[in-house]
Homo-oligomer: A and B are copies of this chain.
Amino acid sequence: MMKKQLIMEKALELFAEQGFEATSVKQITDICGISKGAFYLSFKSKDELILALIDHFMEQITSNIDYVVTNSNDESVLHAFYYEIFTSFHKHSDFAKLLMKEQTQSFNDVFLIKMRYYDQLMDKTILNMIERLYGENVEKTKYDLIFCVKGLMHVYSTLFLFNNVPLDVNVLAKTLVEKTNLLAQHTNTPFISKELMETFGQPMSEEMSADQLIDVINQKIEEMEESIEKESLTLLKQELIEPTLGQAIVKGLIENIRNHPHCKWIAFLLRNHFKV
């Protein structure tokens, strides 16, 4: 199991540098110092590896952003959002590079669906934030705003990822907050209407069912040692099967598990499910 992590780490470096297609399994196993067979003991295929990488990092990044956004006040939420994103990208710069390089590529159906899934989660988070901050004022322009925010994120990420520009995340976040506010408060001409958004934005992937959630939780529970987190998770599972606890308790339980590295994603899914 240690090996799986080693492979993911080293492969990520290679993917970031050369791209996924240009990196061979042989190259990966060589710098890991393991045999080809050992690789296929950890991953069924090269594709499975990149999918695992995407999930591993996107779950982390997505849930962190979501938490930060839902737990900041209106004054600070935009700044917190940008700050969190760029901090994540900076910390996991190899993954961020991989993401940039492969996001328009399309070798694999599963890959594509996964990318679209996380992209839609991001859209949702941004939209949420925008609606909360500007309300009715951006009714006509909010979809354009999503794209503007993503466009800004994209260029500035490229800038510091591929040009080793020294990064002061705080300043960067500040400038983008200013720009976002400007665009939100003064834009009048929309390009993306609600209808347009719906025609191309394949119906937002619906949420996970309670049953699916329970499966994921069961799997995690088995991996965990006894702890407050495990207890909280067990209670939350119970709540999924048969709701009895109040909102406050549920929220508290989710808060308990939120910082456990293995639970971040589940915490995110549960927050979404219980809408707390």
Which residues of A approach B to under 8 Å, CB–CB? 18-19, 21-22, 97, 100-101, 104-107, 144, 147-148, 150-152, 154-156, 158-159, 162-166, 171-172, 174-175, 178-179, 182-183, 186-192, 196, 199-201
Asked whether, in the complex, the Cβ of B165 is within 8 Å of the Cβ of A155, the reply is: no
Task: Describe A's contact surface by its main secondary structure.
Answer: helix
Contacts of A175 in B (CB 8 A): 144, 187, 189-191
The answer for the CA separation of A43 and B189 in the assembled complex, in Å, is 47
Asked whether, in the complex, the Cβ of A19 is within 8 Å of the Cβ of B105, the reply is: yes
Min CB distance A50 to B, Å, is: 14
27 A-B contacts (beta carbon < 8 Å): A19-B105, A19-B106, A21-B22, A22-B107, A97-B104, A101-B104, A104-B158, A104-B162, A147-B156, A147-B159, A148-B152, A150-B155, A151-B154, A154-B154, A156-B191, A163-B200, A165-B196, A165-B200, A171-B189, A172-B191, A174-B189, A175-B189, A178-B188, A179-B187, A182-B182, A182-B183, A182-B186
Q: Which of A164, A186, A191 has the most CB of B within 10 A?
A: A191
The answer for the CA separation of A152 and B152 in the assembled complex, in Å, is 7
The answer for the CA separation of A156 and B107 in the assembled complex, in Å, is 23
Min CB distance A159 to B, Å, is: 7
The residue that A154 contacts in the complex, of B105, B155, B201, with Cβ under 8 A, is B155
Asked whether, in the complex, the Cβ of B156 is within 8 Å of the Cβ of A171, the reply is: no
The answer for the CA separation of A162 and B105 in the assembled complex, in Å, is 11
The answer for the CA separation of A97 and B174 in the assembled complex, in Å, is 32
The answer for the CA separation of A152 and B178 in the assembled complex, in Å, is 16
Min CB distance A89 to B, Å, is: 14
The residue that A179 contacts in the complex, of B148, B156, B172, B200, with Cβ under 8 A, is B148
Contacts of A148 in B (CB 8 A): 151-152, 155, 179
The answer for the CA separation of A189 and B171 in the assembled complex, in Å, is 8
Contacts of A150 in B (CB 8 A): 155
Contacts of A171 in B (CB 8 A): 189, 191
Q: Which residue of B lies closest to A159 (CB)?
A: B147
Contacts of A179 in B (CB 8 A): 148, 183, 187
Q: A147-B155, A147-B159, A175-B187 are in contact. List 19 more A-B contacts (CB 8 A).
A: A19-B105, A19-B107, A21-B21, A21-B22, A100-B104, A101-B105, A148-B155, A148-B179, A151-B152, A163-B201, A164-B200, A165-B196, A165-B199, A166-B196, A178-B187, A178-B188, A178-B189, A182-B182, A182-B187
